[in-house]
Structure 1
Amino acid sequence: MDFTECYADSCSAVALAARDGKSRRVQKLIRRGFAVDVKDNRGWNALHEAAAAGTAGCVRLLIPAAVNCEDYVNTLTHNSETPLYFAAKYGHLRAVKWLIKAGADINRKTNDLSCPLYAAVDGGHKDVIELLVRNGAEVNGTYSLSGWSCLHQAVYKGHIEIVRYLVSLCTLEAVDDYGITPLFVAAQYGHHQCLDILANAGANVNCQANDLATPLLIAAQEGHEQCVECLLAHGADPNLYCNEYCWQLPILAAAQFNRLSILEKLISVTKRECDRGEGKVSPVYLAVLGGHADSLRALLQKGYSPDAQSCPQFGYSCPLEMALWTWLDASWNLNSECHQAQEITLILLAAGAHVNTSIYGFTLQGHVPEHLPLILKHAGLPQGDRLRELIDRALTEVKDASFWLPLLLKAGLDPMLLLQDKLLEEAGNDALNFFLEFVNWKTLPSEMLQILAHRRAEGTWTPRKHFESVPVLAHLCRLAVGAHVGSDTLSKPSFIQLLPIPSLLQDYLHFSDVSGLLT
């Protein structure tokens, strides 16, 4: 091999002429003894250049000019590409014909595991594909680093006519390294016409990848509505679980990614077992997780529960808890999702979401100040044993009493329920003084008075001056009214407004004189 002129202009004179399609110059150079097999720094020779450029006349001249025609026609670049590979890749039919006639290896793979047929499919060159197939190209080989077939690639590129041609030749259920079939690829990339061709040819619409994902799941996730419609029309099962734990469904993907029109289609065909079934996950959770109010409303309007089931898969007891934590995360990160989380929370509460003890306890901490007022506004205080649980939880959060105390009292909590040693011992100075305004500080049990005296001596509590005196008659009267009608009733402005007393006294009964003392 003659290297004397190699790299003069990155390739030999013959290669330059072949690249430009100058057949006469190529012929003259050959007659003058110029070598046709000189390679450039990519490993390309003149035949590679002619094949890639589609200069069929040059291809015809170069092949017989080589010392060994068969070796020459199959010369490899540094990436193991043959001249036939380039001709097929760029759709040069005449060049392909000359190379095949000269004995080109039709199934030779490149370093990246492509081949002439795969390259032609990628480029959408149907006439070249048909020629290669007629001459023995392997249509069911695996190519590319992930093991795709030619049919995978045709579908991926959306080459409808090529898909139509290949379905009668290729294995429809060929899978890549991830267990993905060509039909799955069509669903993933939204090529509904290709999907329809494959389904009509008998491809399995309920095939599952290695991770058990189905075409319907991926189409719903990616928002390909026409693919979803096509799959359902061909019998795709919307209730086929798409993960090993048997809870993932296409409707969950639609809810999570806010594919509203797809969600509405799937609601009508998905079994309601996912809504409240043990071990399952309601799509309500996924709408909350994605922060998609529209999807959440659609689900609730169609009868899905705002409570759903406990969801250990995500670590939440109910959708409302997930919404509150999402709101907290958004507020910590100072991002725009805070408003979305607030809207989601309001939707759930308006739909009647149950507020359990853990949610009350979470909101008592005041990480997001809006949480507790919102919960109390929509759900009020719990009743019975749950109220006792709330009191116990509140007393474990005494350090935050300055936050939750005025809110609970305003919501109608009987202050006597909080009159416990723990509150008197651990509440901050301001919170303690605020609380004492709601009781008769002179008639406290002796042991509680001792606690206050001890704190005063330690300097951890400084009482307000009027705590040294007997409470005024007006204060004793409102305590008596509260004891008679109940703190919950007394907290309602509508009830106080019905009492035959001056408006000033109405405000006093509502403890307006102390409501602003704790800020």
Structure 2
Amino acid sequence: MDQDAVRLLVKVTQEGDFSQLLKLFQSCGPSACQLVHLGRSGDSLLHHAARHGRLDFLHFLIGDVGMELEVCNLDYKRPLHEAASMGHTACVSYLLRRGARVDCLKKADWTPLMMACTRRNLDLIQELIQHSADPLLKNKDGWNAFHIACREGDPGVVRYLLTAAPDVWRTESKTRRTPLHTAAMHGCEEVVQILLERCGYTPDAKDSCGVTPFMDAARNGHVSVARLLLAKHQASPTAADTLGAQTVHHVAVTGQEEALHFLVRELNVDVNQRATGMQLTALHYAAKEGHVSTIKTLLDLGANIHAQDKKRRTALHMASIGQHADAVRTLLQLGLDDSQDASGITARQHAKKPHIMHLFD
């Protein structure tokens, strides 16, 4: 079959023109039945039909033409992956009734259930579970379907998975992140509430970098979730990660100023608290990232503009190292003088770009 005919078959499948598909199969003859891997992705017509929710096409291609149900594309996706990832419940049901493997794996070890959990579609997830999909299976990153559901934040899906598999929450990714980390990071407050009520997570459980769910919530600006973790989970606002950085430092890195006010004004966290490793303050972190507004907020909250880290570097050094002209200009205007660090290097010397170096003139 020539490429023009193949492209036309794909086009009518995507667009859902079933009568045209029948005509093309009649005109192409037996060669149309041999079509498997089409285009760069290696998708078959079944992949296209499943992705676009064309149930009548699936009936025809599988039931009448006899195309292989478990055909894989170049990412090892089956038609069931495609239907699940796009939320087409009727297509998923049909493929399962025809005998599709419910826990087939695509590249990176994703199952159809994992892909279904990227959609807020409880009926679809129930259909897969009722056909014995295993929510405890993990992908290459160590995530199971529950991690993904907690990221998406649908309370109904989370409750259902906890009912269907009560131990599904007892899981960590390869970087030791729990579903509670995931829900907190993405600001899924109602899901966090469910997890705190129904699951036995240890307060301030740390991932492989030492990050807690409270840190995740605060550094992503989800102050209401951080409050919930404080009230219901005894989270510590001063827990430190593996580098000795506390939540106030993480929040300075991401420039979340509401969270800074929350930590310093409401929780009385020391704005000049140093990370135990390099003795960096929140001001150092904000300057290195070039967050001018955050620098000003920290100073308003009582940050010491002259604070030095373990190498005697000030925030001005950090802004120069990060090559952030606006931050350098701001710190100079606020009265911070250039100085040598412990190695005898000035902030100006850290600047690599001429327009930043000129700011020191």
TM beyond 0.5 = yes
Q: 2:242 aligns with which of 238, 241, 244?
A: 244
Which has the higher Rg, Structure 1 or Structure 2?
Answer: 1
3-state secondary structure, aligned to 1:252? helix
1:188 to 2:178 alignment? no
- Segments of 5+ residues of structure 2 without an aligned counterpart are 288-294, 349-361
3-state secondary structure, aligned to 2:6? coil
Deviation at 1:342, TM superposition (A): 3.6
- Would you say the 8 A contact 1:192–1:226 is kept in 2? yes
Can you list the C-alpha shifts for 1:145-165, whole angstroms capped at 9, x where unaligned?
523222222233333432333
1:337 to 2:327 alignment? yes
| C-alpha distance 30-242 of structure 1, shift in aligned 2 (>3 A) | farther
Deviation at 1:259, TM superposition (A): 3.3
* Bigger relative contact order, structure 1 or 2 (CA pairs below 8 A, ≥6 apart): 2
Deviation at 1:212, TM superposition (A): 0.8
- Would you say the 8 A contact 2:253–2:286 is kept in 1? yes
Deviation at 1:192, TM superposition (A): 2.4
Aligned ranges for residues 353-502 of structure 1 at < 5 Å?
Answer: none
| C-alpha distance 104-279 of structure 1, shift in aligned 2 (>3 A) | closer
Can you list the C-alpha shifts for 1:354-375, whole angstroms capped at 9, x where unaligned?
xxxxx8999xx9999xxxxxxx
3-state secondary structure, aligned to 1:36? helix
| C-alpha distance 32-124 of structure 1, shift in aligned 2 (>3 A) | same
Deviation at 1:104, TM superposition (A): 0.3
| C-alpha distance 191-361 of structure 1, shift in aligned 2 (>3 A) | closer
2:215 corresponds to which residue? 217
| C-alpha distance 140-345 of structure 1, shift in aligned 2 (>3 A) | farther
- Would you say the 8 A contact 1:221–1:254 is kept in 2? yes
2:300 corresponds to which residue? 297
Q: Distance in 1 between matches of 2:50 and 2:259?
A: 47
Sequence identity (%)? 19
Can you list the C-alpha shifts for 1:168-203, whole angstroms capped at 9, x where unaligned?
336224222211112112222223233223222225
3-state secondary structure, aligned to 2:106? coil
Q: 1:176 aligns with which of 173, 176, 188?
A: 173
2:57 corresponds to which residue? 58
1:208 to 2:191 alignment? no
Q: Distance in 2 between matches of 1:132 and 1:140?
A: 13
Q: Distance in 1 between matches of 2:110 and 2:85?
A: 10
How many pairs were matched up?
330
1:101 partner letter: R
2:105 corresponds to which residue? 109
Can you list the C-alpha shifts for 1:77-123, whole angstroms capped at 9, x where unaligned?
22212121112122222221111111101111112322211221123
| C-alpha distance 116-256 of structure 1, shift in aligned 2 (>3 A) | closer
Deviation at 1:64, TM superposition (A): 2.9
- Would you say the 8 A contact 1:252–1:282 is kept in 2? no
Q: Distance in 1 between matches of 2:324 and 2:82?
A: 53
| C-alpha distance 217-45 of structure 1, shift in aligned 2 (>3 A) | closer
- Would you say the 8 A contact 2:184–2:213 is kept in 1? yes
| C-alpha distance 278-187 of structure 1, shift in aligned 2 (>3 A) | closer
2:70 corresponds to which residue? 74
- Would you say the 8 A contact 2:214–2:237 is kept in 1? no
- Would you say the 8 A contact 1:293–1:343 is kept in 2? no
Can you list the C-alpha shifts for 1:384-424, whole angstroms capped at 9, x where unaligned?
xxxxxxxxxxxxxxxxxxxxxxxxxxxxxxxxxxxxxxxxx
Can you list the C-alpha shifts for 1:245-303, whole angstroms capped at 9, x where unaligned?
5x32213333455534323333354676x9689958888x2125424132233246xxx
- Segments of 5+ residues of structure 1 without an aligned counterpart are 350-358, 369-519
Deviation at 1:124, TM superposition (A): 2.9
Normalization by structure 1: what TM-score?
0.54
2:156 partner letter: E
| C-alpha distance 137-276 of structure 1, shift in aligned 2 (>3 A) | closer
Deviation at 1:141, TM superposition (A): 1.3
Q: Distance in 1 between matches of 2:250 and 2:74?
A: 45
1:150 to 2:145 alignment? yes
